[in-house]
Amino acid sequence: ETGVTQSPTHLIKTRGQQVTLRCSSQSGHNTVSWYQQALGQGPQFIFQYYREEENGRGNFPPRFSGLQFPNYSSELNVNALELDDSALYLCASSFPTGSNTEAFFGQGTRLTVV
Amino acid sequence: AQRVTQPEKLLSVFKGAPVELKCNYSYSGSPELFWYVQYSRQRLQLLLRHISRESIKGFTADLNKGETSFHLKKPFAQEEDSAMYYCALKGAGSYQLTFGKGTKLSVIP
């Protein structure tokens, strides 16, 4: 069984550019969530995908978008990057069954916007 | 709106001393509460959840609905407990986790 993997681990982008972050979910997991963790803060929910459909979204603007593929891997796209987008982006996968909704996190992608 | 508050940014205790990491929440219904832990250079991982009512690595947490709290406790701290601890809430019918800002626990040898 493989865990959640994210790529790249680090990324530097210029303000105004676009970025794509990738996540491979844990084997057998059909749900992927993305979180933004700014320095000194807890992770903040961006959105969640279940079976290729977005089924939950946090308080983030539309320039944050995502995709989930048939193999349940996922992408987070951010357009028109701003300096405040600099953060650690975490992906978490799960296979919700009844009361078991444990989310397994990846190691994160550190995005720096200059 | 749901919110999780961890009032302590940093908590330092001596090895063998009791530990209590505070967590208060705001939620109008019946939430599900979790503690996540991040050890140095490792990914965020689930420590325990209130519905399991279990003890993991000597840690326990009891949900107090009257005080809207979910404090994490351990009677005798160990050096390997040093880590960042996050309290998180999941609302009914939702998979979204709302995290607190975290408390860094430092256990002094």
DSSP per-residue codes, chain A: ----EEE-SEEEE-TT--EEEEEEPPTT--EEEEEEE-TTS--EEEEEEETTEEEEE-S--TTEEEEE-TTS-EEEEE-S--GGG-EEEEEEEE--BTTB---EE---EEEEE-
Collapse the DSSP code of A83 into the 3-class scheme (helix H, G, I; strand E, B; otherwise coil) and give the result: helix
**Chain B interface disruption, residue of A33, A47, A101, most B CBs within 10 A:** A101
Average pLDDT, chain A: 93
B86 Cα to chain A: minimum distance (Å): 7
Whether residues A42 and B102 touch (CB distance < 8 A) is answered with yes
Mean pLDDT in residue range A23-37: 92
Tell me which residue in A44, A55, A101 faces B90 most closely, judged by beta carbons.
A101
The answer to whether residue B100 scores a pLDDT higher than 70 is yes
Contacts 24+ apart (CB under 8 A), A63-68: A66/A34, A68/A32
Confidence of residue A100 (pLDDT cuts 50, 70, 90): low
Chain A residues inside the 8 Å CB shell of B54: none
Whether residues A56 and B4 touch (CB distance < 8 A) is answered with no
B108 Cα to chain A: minimum distance (Å): 22
Collapse the DSSP code of A85 into the 3-class scheme (helix H, G, I; strand E, B; otherwise coil) and give the result: helix
Tell me which residue in B45, B94, B98 faces A105 most closely, judged by beta carbons.
B45
Question: Is the CB of residue A98 less than 8 Å away from at least one CB of chain B?
Answer: no
Whether residues B49 and A102 touch (CB distance < 8 A) is answered with yes
Mean pLDDT in residue range B66-82: 96
CB A48 within 8 A of CB A74: no
B53 Cα to chain A: minimum distance (Å): 13
Per the omega criterion (within 30 degrees of 0), is the bond before A8 cis? yes
Confidence of residue A86 (pLDDT cuts 50, 70, 90): very high
**Cα–Cα distances in Å, from A69 out to A23, A34, B70?**
10, 15, 37
Q: Supply the pLDDT for residue B98.
A: 95
Q: Supply the pLDDT for residue A99.
A: 61
Whether residues B43 and A33 touch (CB distance < 8 A) is answered with no
> How many helices (H) and strands (E) in chain B?
0, 11
